[in-house]
Amino acid sequence: MLGLAPDAAAAKAAGGVARPAKWAGTGCDGEAVWGECPGSGKSAYRACADLAGPAFRCSCPSRKIPCKHVLGLLLLWADGMVEAGARPGWVTEWTEQRRERAERAARRAAGGKGDGRGRDPKTAERRERRVDDGLAELDRWLRDQVAHGLAQAEQAPYRLWDDAARRLVDAQAGGLAGQVRGLAAIPRTPGWPGRLLEEYALLRLLVRAHRRRGELSEGLRATVRSRIGFTVPQEEVLSGGERVRDRWCVTGSRDTAQDLLTTRRVWLRGRESGRAALVLSFATPGSTLDASLVVGTEVDAELAFYPGAQPLRALVAERFGAPVPGTPPGMAVKEFLDEHAAALARDPWLDRWPATLDGARLARGEEGDLYAVDDAGDALPLRPTDPWRLLALSGGGPVTLSGEWTPRGLRPLAAWHETEGTVIL
């Protein structure tokens, strides 16, 4: 069993938990083994393994697969210390989800479209019920946080949010789990009470919108389902999504890593349509991200947009010719804020929006913060990871500046200088 360990440290740690006294609720059948092991908090870690896969799951925060708890459980099972029993509900749900994913993969391999039209209606109905139950529990949790007062959040352990996120994953509302986990970092930032209350309010708005989804417009209903975690297959987007052909300027790119998944966000702006677009790619360890969209170039292409009240995410459906260098069209600060306000009115859960400012100069605020100021004197606060590169490039002069706009300010991604050309920030 230790041959499954991801490294020597995990194999060594497994020996410490491979003791019957450390486990409760253990059991096995011909296909799976499961059990609960006390963790650092009040809640026990739930570990299980699909023996046919093999595949593993544990509710502990370790990023190793399998973790020490799963390895320890497997060691106990191999030594005959786990008795046969009936599966608890959380194990049954996990194995059913694995079987559903395997069935979808088999249909795609057999030439199916994978768009869900051939899915067992009972499977979809079961998920809808789980999501409804999970969001009802989230609604109670949100009301409890506000009723008990925000002051407790400043000293609360990480598991306050992590436990709520895990329950959402179990309810197959994984799109919300990352948002809930991210709340744990807010009480450690300046002005956190207002920000935390705002995030709680947006989550509750999403819960209520899903509850009344039958009354929503088609676009807003698609946005709500996407935020919760219902995905739209790429084949469906390419076959039925809104298509827009333009000369798309690649204005910025940013990679973020979470657990074992790296996400690349590439921002585009249509030269003729003025449309903003976001192209996502994902990579697991050992795989590579899509590098075909290079910042500082523009490509004649047709994009297919995912459905939503404010369509933003898109796929590159077709390209026409090779990309060429180009400076993207910029806008004034007021024009950008008006655009962002209109997008936010359509999708109140937007957490970032692409900005490209024309003729931006850098300036210091009264407290030393950095701002991008346009010719009209309007300014946006900057949140650069490395301000010196941007300061050296501009030298006090104007640049075309692109970045991601969030509630915390503009994160610069790239700049265009009349002599230096495109500079990645």
Pair 182, 203 in one domain: yes
- Does some domain include residue 206? yes
Q: Contacts from 278-283 at CB under 8 Å and sequence distance 24+?
A: 278/312, 278/313, 278/314, 278/354, 279/303, 279/313, 279/314, 279/315, 279/316, 280/313
Pair 358, 319 in one domain: no
- Does some domain include residue 78? yes
Pair 128, 202 in one domain: yes
What is the number of structural domains in the chain? 4
Pair 289, 267 in one domain: yes
CATH number, residue 350: 2.40.50
pTM: 0.70
- Does some domain include residue 101? no
- Does some domain include residue 194? yes
Tokens of 370: 């950095």
Neighbouring residues of 118: CB distance < 8 A, sequence distance ≥ 6: 107, 112
The answer to whether the Cα torsion of 100, 101, 102, 106 is positive or negative is positive
Pair 320, 343 in one domain: no
DSSP category for residue 209: H
Supply the range of the domain harboring residue 371: 333-424
- Does some domain include residue 115? no
**Alpha helices per DSSP H over 149-265:** 159-170, 174-182, 192-211, 218-228, 234-240
Pair 312, 342 in one domain: no
Residue pLDDT tens, the chain, 425 long: 556 777 778 888 888 888 888 898 898 887 789 999 987 767 788 999 887 666 788 888 887 778 899 899 988 888 888 888 888 888 888 877 777 776 666 666 554 444 444 456 778 888 889 999 999 999 999 999 999 888 888 888 888 888 998 899 888 888 888 889 888 888 888 889 999 999 999 999 999 999 999 999 999 999 999 999 888 888 999 999 999 999 999 999 998 877 667 889 999 999 999 999 999 988 877 677 888 899 999 999 999 999 999 999 999 999 998 899 989 999 999 999 999 999 999 999 999 999 999 999 999 887 778 999 999 999 999 998 778 888 888 888 899 999 999 988 999 999 998 888 888 88
Pair 338, 301 in one domain: no
